[in-house]
């Protein structure tokens, strides 16, 4: 009798969750950790992850609900914050779900070695779009990648201001050209950052970092984009509230902001050749009525 005849088969889901920062979490709906392909899928380390049915109809985007159940002792990776307290950070994370049939010896104890996968099938690849929260669990609504095609039409809007985002394919500027490496100085608060050294100008703008953003390079918020609402002076930045706070001594990369105006593109960034706006387009006050005499 072959060893396989002694195996009982179990079906479990394997979740690979890639956060916007690039951090990867691997979890399973199985009651024990599963090791396969050199990766460990944790049953409880990141809470309990389970999925509902995949909702799919012809010519529509497939959707699925994923439920995370966790106590306050389960911390978000790399932080001291309970997972459920900051669960909204999973928004825009990529989710891959593989259903695996596990071939396990009937008398096997704890899964302390490579698990035999008898068969596996990828059943869903998508992105977390809408999270909702309760005291002990969170429900993430996920849509397959087809939802990215449901963008407003037309993609290119004719308007006076530039429709591009700073550093995107239309803008063509390179972030590394403008990055400034900073350290959070004493006297800072979670939303008001004091810098140890004064910031310089970018082009003709002496306060160029309003509407910009930072990417922390140390501390709990490492890797996340945080908006700079306003640069109040050369040594102070006002940040948008964020669930992971910067502490004194944390470091971050700082990038300038852009208001999409032609003068900003020309005199702040010297990038007029790539300005995408059309300043001479008439605004609403100049619109013509279809019922004119």
What mean pLDDT is predicted for residues 176-189? 96
What pLDDT does 8 receive? Answer: 41
Q: Where do the domains of the chain lie, and which CATH numbers do they carry?
A: 9-149 (2.30.110), 175-274 (2.40.10.170)
What mean pLDDT is predicted for residues 183-188? 95
Length of the chain, in residues: 293
Q: Report residue 146's pLDDT band, with 50, 70 and 90 as the boundaries.
A: confident
What mean pLDDT is predicted for residues 173-202? 95
Output the six-digit token pair for 252. 């971050």
Percent of all residues in the chain with a pLDDT value above 90, rounded to a whole number: 68
What pLDDT does 152 receive? Answer: 67
Contact assessment for residue 144 and residue 125, using Cβ atoms and an 8 Å cutoff: yes
Q: Tell me: the pLDDT tens digits for 90-141?
A: 999 999 999 998 775 554 455 445 667 778 899 999 999 888 888 789 999 9
What mean pLDDT is predicted for residues 3-25? 78
Q: Report residue 210's pLDDT band, with 50, 70 and 90 as the boundaries.
A: very high
What pLDDT does 122 receive? Answer: 94
Q: φ and ψ at 207, to 5 degrees? A: -125, 70
pLDDT at 44 exceeding the cut of 70? yes
pTM of the model: 0.81
What pLDDT does 114 receive? Answer: 62
Percent of all residues in the chain with a pLDDT value above 70, rounded to a whole number: 87
Q: Report CA-CA distances (Å) from 112 to 32, 36, 187.
A: 10, 11, 49
What pLDDT does 289 receive? Answer: 54
What pLDDT does 280 receive? Answer: 83
Q: Where are the beta strands (DSSP E) in the chain?
A: 7-18, 24-28, 34-36, 39-41, 48-51, 63-69, 94-105, 116-133, 137-144, 180-183, 192-194, 213-216, 226-233, 236-239, 251-255
What pLDDT does 167 receive? Answer: 96
């Amino acid at each position: 009798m072959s060893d396989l005849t002694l195996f009982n088969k179990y079906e479990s889901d394997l979740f690979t969750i890639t956060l916007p920062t690039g951090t990867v979490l691997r979890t399973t709906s199985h009651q024990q950790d599963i090791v396969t392909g050199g990766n460990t899928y944790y049953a409880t380390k990141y809470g309990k992850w389970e999925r509902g049915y995949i909702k799919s109809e012809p010519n529509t985007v497939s959707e699925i609900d994923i439920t995370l159940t966790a106590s306050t002792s389960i911390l978000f990776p790399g932080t001291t914050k309970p997972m459920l307290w900051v669960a909204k950070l999973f928004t825009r994370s990529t989710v891959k779900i593989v259903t695996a049939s596990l071939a396990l010896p009937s008398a096997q104890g704890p899964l302390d070695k490579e698990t035999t996968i008898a068969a596996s099938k990828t059943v869903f690849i998508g992105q977390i779009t809408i999270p909702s929260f309760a005291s002990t669990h969170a429900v993430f609504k996920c849509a397959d990648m087809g939802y990215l095609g449901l963008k407003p039409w037309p993609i290119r809007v004719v308007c006076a201001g530039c429709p591009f985002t700073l550093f995107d394919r239309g803008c063509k500027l390179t972030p590394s050209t403008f990055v400034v490496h900073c350290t959070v100085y004493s006297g800072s608060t979670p939303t008001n950052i004091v810098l140890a050294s004064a910031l310089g100008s970018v082009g003709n703008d002496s306060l160029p970092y309003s509407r910009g953003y930072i990417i922390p390079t140390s501390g709990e918020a490492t890797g996340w984009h945080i908006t700079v609402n306003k640069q109040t002076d050369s040594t102070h930045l006002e940040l948008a509230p964020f669930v992971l706070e910067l502490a004194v001594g944390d470091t971050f990369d700082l990038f300038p902001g852009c208001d999409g105006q032609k003068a900003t593109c020309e005199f702040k960034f010297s990038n007029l050749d790539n300005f995408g706006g059309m300043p001479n387009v008439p605004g609403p006050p100049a619109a013509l009525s279809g019922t004119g005499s």
